Structure 1
Amino acid sequence: DTSKQWRIDAIDADEEITLVSVQDEVVRNDADKEMFDVDVLNGDKMFVAEHKVAVKRVNDEVNAKIDVDHSLAERMQAQEQEELSIIEKDTLFQQLLKNRRKHFASKRAEEKRNKPPTKAQ
């Protein structure tokens, strides 16, 4: 921006002006002390350790629930297979009886047709 250019030139020409804020360094030093403070780190470590234990506990509970659900699903599937096999057995048995009736009915009809004529008296 050309309107501010003369101000920048004036600041650059004056060697007495410092462009670095000393207060920023003081604030940064306080932040560094807090960051590397042993008590603060121990508190964070405890929080992380407790968090890991809680996460592990939740994972164990979820895995147990999944195992229970899986075994229940397997049992239900096996029971359903049994029911289907029972239904299939019933259907096959009914078909067998039906075919057997048809077979003997046709056999009786064939015997009637093949019966020799009786002698006329």
Structure 2
Amino acid sequence: MHFLWAFLVGGALCVIGQLLIDLTAMTPARILVLYVVAGVVLSALGWYMPLAEFAGAGATVPLLGFGHLLAQGVVDAVERHGLLGALTGGFSAAAGGIAASLVCGVIASLLSKSKDQS
């Protein structure tokens, strides 16, 4: 049942993003920023953690989950290191995911052949 809820919640988040692309003049880049900021705001209000516990990867993997991860990293770092944690907490919490995406990007660039856009 946990997989079903993860699929439904993650799918609903994707449907909302697709509707924003299709029905508004927003660019995908603005929607990306909107989702990350919405994750931070929902996390700050305390609304995202119950959703993440309920839906698991369906809520933590999308961009909203990245915003939630950044916010939680800042909160944890501020508790441990004081105000300096506000600057370092988000980077520390998301370092693994960011490093993995950079490594995958480098591998993809090495395995593919670039060509001019025309």
Does TM, scored on the shorter chain, surpass 0.5? Answer: no
Bigger Rg, structure 1 or 2: 1
**Larger relative contact order (CA 8 Å, sep ≥ 6):** 2
TM-score calculated relative to the size of structure 2? 0.22
